[in-house]
Amino acid sequence: MEINDLYRDVILDHNRQPRNFGPLEPADASVEGFNPMCGDHLTLRLRLNEDTISDIRFEGQGCAISTASASLMTEAVKGKHRDEALKLFDRVHQLLTDDAAPPAEELGKLAALSGVREYPARVKCASLCWHTLASALKSTDPKSVPAVSTE
């Protein structure tokens, strides 16, 4: 495993210039995610049109993996139905943790995250934003979702 397989160009690009980064006002849901082990945190805000994610933005501070993962995630789920986004969450979770995960071509740019699974200490960096999103989407009251922690 080479370090370039973890820090692929897509990851470096989304770290340098994160997409959908910044506040979103007003928002239908606002959820915070923490990684207490490393002190990283992010705030994820989204607008829902019926059951479709019409807009989504994030802010906070984290490493390249966590920033790029959040940036890629916002691009991937914007415009998607809640159920589709949750399916994608399951698929990415599998990609990050399961060595036997099937090829990831259909995931598009998100496939760049597959390098993370060779670095167990960094899986939480990549998955924090996804857990935060899932928590917002699964909540019956998106206005008051408790903060998500990786620990």
Partner 1 sequence: MKNLALTHPDLAFDVEAARRHFPILSRTVHGRPLVYLDNGASTQRPQSVIDAVNDYERRHHANIHRGVHTLSQEATALYESARDRLVRFVNARSRTEIIFVRGTTEAINLVTQSYARPALQPGDEVLITHLEHHANIVPWQMVCAQTGAKLVAAPMTAQGEIQLEAVIALMNPRTRILACAHVSNALGTVLPVRRLVAAAKARAITTLVDGAQAVAHMAVDVRDLDCDFYTFSSHKMYGPTGVGVLYGREQLLERMPPWQGGGDMILAVTFEKTTYNALPYKFEAGTPNISGAVGLGAAVDFLSSLDRKAAHAHEDALLHHATAVLGRIPGLRIIGTAPQKASLVSFVVAGVHPHDLGTILDEDGIAVRTGHHCAMPVMDFFKLPATARASFAFYNTIDEIDKLAAGIERARKIFA
Which region, judged by CB under 8 A, interacts with partner 1, from 6-14, 21-29, 90-98, 104-112? Answer: 6-14
Q: Is 107 in the site for partner 1 (CB under 8 A)?
A: no
| 3-state SS record for the chain | CCHHHHCCHHHHHHHHCCCCECCCCCCCEEEEEEECCCCEEEEEEEEEECCEEEEEEEEEECCHHHHHHHHHHHHHHCCCEHHHHHHHHHHHHHHHHCCCCCCCHHHHHHHHHHHHHHCHHHHHHHHHHHHHHHHHHHCCCHHHCCCEECC
Q: Is 111 in the site for partner 1 (CB under 8 A)?
A: no
Minimum distance from CB of 149 to partner 1 (Å)?
A: 15
Which residue in the set 47, 80, 97, 119 belongs to the binding site for partner 1 (CB under 8 A)? 119
**Contacts of 104 by beta carbon, 8 Å cutoff, 6+ apart:** 95, 110, 111, 114
Binding residues for partner 1 restricted to 21-80, rule: CB under 8 A: 37-41, 61-65
Minimum distance from CB of 128 to partner 1 (Å)?
A: 12
Q: Which CB, 40 or 148, lies closer to partner 1?
A: 40
Q: Is 17 in the site for partner 1 (CB under 8 A)?
A: no
Q: Is 134 in the site for partner 1 (CB under 8 A)?
A: no
Which positions touch partner 1 (CB under 8 A)?
3, 6-7, 12, 15-16, 37-41, 61-65, 119, 121-122, 125
